[in-house]
Amino acid sequence: MDTFLIVLAGVFLIIGLIGCFFSKLPGTLLSYLGIIILHYTSIDEFSVHFFIRWGVLVIAVQGLDYFIPNWGNRKFGGSIRGVCGSMLGVLSGLFFGSWEIIIIGAIVGAFIGELFAGKESNKAIRYAFASFAFFILGTISQLIVAGILFHYYLNDLSYLL
């Protein structure tokens, strides 16, 4: 049973890391659930303070990931299509595997999304950079939290081996 829970925690943590790139998948929350599952194994026992601190941080980061792009779009006049285009651009960039392609794909995707939203090309470029910036801000904050939680998992696995 212990092995099953360790593997299940790893699956939740990996899906949590992947979920940082998808706006519909709560990446940090899945990573946090993976740590909770790991707590019920014989590998590690986390304190109540640990769970409270990380729980508050996960809720804050997850909430900011949903509110920051919407707030930024309203402030700069962008659209939700720009954010979706940015997300699709990042995913297409991940397919090709280069950081430069990921960034270029996100900006081009946001630009195309803004064009589909009916913006003129000069305004669409400005909105595309704003959509990209707010998407990246949310994604990076989620990746930091999910990455640290994944580090706890890997650290506990190293003591097992």
Instruction: For residues 22-49, give the mean pLDDT.
Output: 87
What's this model's pTM, rounded to 2 decimal places? 0.74
Range of the domain at 138: 2-160
pLDDT at 23 over 70: no
Provide CB contacts within 8 A for 113, sequence distance 6+. Answer: 79, 81, 82, 83, 84, 85, 86, 88, 128, 131
On whether the CB atoms of residues 13 and 34 are closer than 8 A, the answer is: yes
- The total number of structural domains in the chain stands at 1
| Amino acid 98: pLDDT | 67
* H helix intervals, 40-120: 48-76, 80-96, 99-116
User: What average pLDDT does the structure give for the chain?
Assistant: 83
Query: 5: which 2 tokens?
Result: 């829970």
> b or e along 128-152 (b: 16 or more beta carbons within 10 Å of the residue's beta carbon)?
bbbbbbbbbebbebbbebbeebbeb
- pLDDT, position 140: 87
